[in-house]
Structure 1
Amino acid sequence: MTYKPITDQQLRLYMTDLQNHSQRTSAARAGFSERSARRFDADPTPPSQRKIVHGRTVSDPLDGYWQNDLLPLLENDSALQAVTLLRHLQGLHPVAFPDDRIRRTLERRVRQWRALKGPERDIIFRQVPEPGYMAQSDFTHAEELEVTIADLPFPHLLYHFVMVYSRWEHVGVVLGGESFTALAENLQQALWSMGGVPQNHRTDSLSAAFRNLTADQRKDMTRRYDAFVGHYGMDASRNNRGEAHENGAVESQNRHLKTAIKQALILRGSRDFACIEDYRRFVDMLVARRNRQRAAAVQAERAHLKPLPQRRTIDFTEIVVPVSRTGGFLVKSIFYSAPSQLIGQRLRVHLYDDRIEAFLGSSLVVSHPRARGRVDGHRVHVINYHHVIHALRRKPQALWSSIYRDSLFPRTEYAEA
């Protein structure tokens, strides 16, 4: 209960009621405690005429220790925590400070010192968003959603694109990690869904996307990203590492988005989906409903967007691979099968986040869901049984010890049989 000073009117009411009522009743009618009533009985001076004395009611437990032992440490490095200072005191004066009884007192003292004498702190300057000027992108982990596909855990990321002015958003389900392919593919889809191009596109430092890359690979990724934004006529910017508030529009929306997905999953009654496409459709419908609530702001922003180019640009990674005598090719240490007629040919493979497409000249000849390597180091095989069934008819015993035997079954029922 907030303390309120007693007024002269309350004291007069108390003195009047005291002629007909008990001390407790008179104090209650006046609105103060019985203890205050005893104090007024001993000294009936009106509150307005009393001299207010501010000071400690108990002795300072840090008297002498604060100035001599603690203050020099704080002035040298203000990052020291109160509990660290307490342990330091206990080491210097074990008899005076045998326990943590003064911890709260020390925390208040340190907090007050930082407010009065501490170093200057950074200030976040809120910006006035301009329609059509900036869009922000970010990847956010989605393990907390606890989504499963066919009753199996589904680790994934969510790519989140947000227009700063209208808060229009686009969300993509990313199967791999942060990469140029995942960024470019989903960013391009977001721009064409929005129907226009903002002047500036901001991301974080993309440190996860550059992890484990050589210097040449980093330069190549930077060059490809610059070419991508140049194709759309956007300016590219990045916030400083560790300064998430510089990408604040999408960072704050990440939290709201995942909360909305959690709530929708609760209403759905299940977090399990039959396939990835069903989960993507679920997310797309949720995002569409959220965007409808921003229709007026989106309409105003679209008037300030630059037009889309005549065509899309490359949003995949391209590599050239040979098809070996084992009936397939290697992409990032993953073996993918191919029709036997392609043995000896060199294919151009387009790597997307969720699939690969292989071309002989300009003809699409192979398409597979994209796989990722296993943590135990064993090679992963992606086999289309149509590519090898003709050979197995002639060599049925080859199936028994084939290194990709378990990968070529069209359904799990075959593997169980």
Structure 2
Amino acid sequence: MDGKSQAAAAAASDMSLRTAREWDTGPLPSATTQARDWRTRPDPFAAVWHTDVEPLLSRDVKGVLEAKWVLEVLRTRYPDQFHAGQARTLQRRFRDWRARHGVEPEVFFPQVAVPGREAAIDFTHATDLGVTVAGAPFPHLLFEFVLSYSHWTWVTIAFGETFEALVAGVQGALWALGGVPPVLRSDNLSAATHELKTSGGRALTPRFRAVLEHDGIRSSRITPGRAHENGVAEQAHRRLKALLAQALLVRGHTAFVDIAAYDAFVQEVVAYWRNRPALARLAEERATLGALPSAAIPSYTTYYPVVRRWSTIRVAHRTYSVPAQLMGHTVEARVHPNVVEVRYRDQIVQTMPRLRKEDEHRIDYRHMIGWLVRKPGAFARYRYREDLYPSVTFRRAYDALARAHGERADLEYLRVLQLASTAGEMRVTAVLATLLDAGLAFDARTVQAEVAPPVLVVPTVHIPAPDLAVYDALRGGAAA
């Protein structure tokens, strides 16, 4: 009693001295309490449990049946016997019945990670972070490479689960790590596997198998539809996005000036919150990793299309425009994770953003505007006409020209577009926005005058005095 008398302890506990003596010499009340094995009120479902409820539970092999739904069924069958306030009672009855007679749930087995044995990879959608780049929403994925033992992580931004993004991610992680784990764990990524038509299963694609063989890695894949079997990557996704969301909250906003700034932010979060705590265990892993190959496999796919008469090439079911001078020539198109690089005789002639969906097209007006100005009639029904409006301002400009000039609007607009290709799209956009906001009528000449007014330069002509000796020599030669 902490040195107090029995009377003082009883007073401090707000009990009588007699009760204190009983507790001091005998068992405490909690030791004498007996578990209750009887109901204090009648079971409202006793009459229907075996006839109506238990047969439904027995047939529910997937565990989808809910007590509230069954209660509504009972209220429909017996409207005067049940009410909505009995849902909690029925939920307890469901819980107790399933604990004793329900379908046996799946059992999971915790695994022991071995240093340097395995890495897990996967893509995860990160658009829900709400990041904006240059003022526009930034839909993107994050590719993660995680060592199962130390949880050292390598992350890169991706725009699709493509073969090129996968190879760039895996090899980028290996070179950053400085070694190769023998096993790479993943789900059945469409960029790495293909469906087997005969068995319905999935197998590695020849291209990705060649990458793994080059790096000395064995693939380990989960059962299709069992995402938890790739738990290392799944947990890494959850933790990474939670860290990024908190870091963005502390930062105060989610806006970035460009992709490079956002990528630097992601790398800083990963380095501090994921890789700094993993340094000690990473040292254990690095001692067991295999050696890197002599060189990395290029993380791009090469195509050799012929430039068609429309000044376009077709690459992986997508259409891109190229300079018209290349028509009829075979070019090399390297499809990287995020860009397409066009080469002619090993010289880069163009680089453009990679299209994501099949049958998409990207037409740059600069590649054919010269011929469109010569053939303005082709503009009206041009298949890729919408691509010739570089921005909303140009679309508004065309509509204004159509109202003011009728059929001549196509030629006037094409001349404005040609001006943008030579004088600069931003300068022309600024002039068009000013004219449109002021409600002024304009044509291509008006825009030309505002963008780059002609400067008349009067040349200074210097005419030297004639040398008559030359004339005499000419006459003398003619007489001879």
| TM-score in terms of structure 1 length | 0.78
- Bigger Rg over Cα: 2
Which secondary structure state, in structure 1, belongs to the residue aligned with residue 299 of structure 2?
Answer: coil
Give 1:186 shift.
1.1
CA separation of 1:314 and 1:71: change in aligned 2, threshold 3 A: same
User: Distance between the aligned counterparts of 1:199 and 1:257, measured in 2?
Assistant: 25
User: Distance between the aligned counterparts of 1:89 and 1:148, measured in 2?
Assistant: 52
User: Distance between the aligned counterparts of 2:150 and 2:134, measured in 1?
Assistant: 37
Within the alignment, does 1:94 sit opposite 2:75 as a pair? no
Segments of structure 1 that go 5 or more residues without pairing to the other structure are 1-11, 18-24, 32-45
Larger displacement relative to structure 2 (345-354 or 119-128) = 345-354
Within the alignment, does 1:194 sit opposite 2:177 as a pair? yes
User: Distance between the aligned counterparts of 1:198 and 1:169, measured in 2?
Assistant: 13
Aligned to 1:114, which of 64, 74, 98?
A: 98
User: Distance between the aligned counterparts of 1:243 and 1:292, measured in 2?
Assistant: 31
User: Distance between the aligned counterparts of 1:27 and 1:215, measured in 2?
Assistant: 77
Which secondary structure state, in structure 1, belongs to the residue aligned with residue 305 of structure 2?
Answer: strand
Instruction: Compute the RMSD of aligned alpha carbons.
Output: 3.7
Within the alignment, does 1:270 sit opposite 2:284 as a pair? no
Which secondary structure state, in structure 2, belongs to the residue aligned with residue 346 of structure 1?
Answer: coil
Which secondary structure state, in structure 1, belongs to the residue aligned with residue 342 of structure 2?
Answer: strand
Give 1:371 shift.
3.0
On the 8 A contact 2:117/2:182 being kept in 1, the answer is: yes
User: Distance between the aligned counterparts of 2:105 and 2:154, measured in 1?
Assistant: 35
Aligned to 1:381, which of 351, 358, 362?
A: 362
User: Distance between the aligned counterparts of 2:204 and 2:346, measured in 1?
Assistant: 25
| TM-score in terms of structure 2 length | 0.69
Match of 2:454 in 1: none
1:42-100 deviations in Å (ceiling 9; x for gaps): xxxx9688877531111111112112221122122242222232233223322212x21
Within the alignment, does 1:258 sit opposite 2:241 as a pair? yes
One-letter amino acid matched to 1:181: E
User: Distance between the aligned counterparts of 1:309 and 1:26, measured in 2?
Assistant: 77
Which secondary structure state, in structure 1, belongs to the residue aligned with residue 270 of structure 2?
Answer: helix
Match of 1:339 in 2: 323
Match of 1:183 in 2: 166
% of aligned pairs identical?
A: 35
Within the alignment, does 1:302 sit opposite 2:286 as a pair? yes
User: Distance between the aligned counterparts of 2:301 and 2:254, measured in 1?
Assistant: 32
1:251-271 deviations in Å (ceiling 9; x for gaps): 111111111111222232221
CA separation of 1:222 and 1:214: change in aligned 2, threshold 3 A: same
Match of 1:5 in 2: none
Give 1:209 shift.
7.7
Which secondary structure state, in structure 1, belongs to the residue aligned with residue 124 of structure 2?
Answer: strand
1:357-368, aligned counterparts within 5 Å? 357-360=341-344, 362-368=346-352
On the 8 A contact 2:119/2:147 being kept in 1, the answer is: yes
CA separation of 1:282 and 1:246: change in aligned 2, threshold 3 A: same
Give 1:146 shift.
0.2
Within the alignment, does 1:29 sit opposite 2:15 as a pair? yes
1:20-50 deviations in Å (ceiling 9; x for gaps): xxxxx9995269xxxxxxxxxxxxxx96888
- Give the aligned length: 377
Give 1:364 shift.
3.7
Which secondary structure state, in structure 1, belongs to the residue aligned with residue 154 of structure 2?
Answer: strand
Match of 1:20 in 2: none
User: Distance between the aligned counterparts of 1:157 and 1:109, measured in 2?
Assistant: 45
Which secondary structure state, in structure 1, belongs to the residue aligned with residue 331 of structure 2?
Answer: strand
Which secondary structure state, in structure 1, belongs to the residue aligned with residue 111 of structure 2?
Answer: coil
Give 1:120 shift.
1.6
Aligned to 2:112, which of 118, 125, 128?
A: 128
User: Distance between the aligned counterparts of 1:146 and 1:242, measured in 2?
Assistant: 28
Which secondary structure state, in structure 2, belongs to the residue aligned with residue 178 of structure 1?
Answer: coil
Match of 1:22 in 2: none
Match of 1:165 in 2: 149
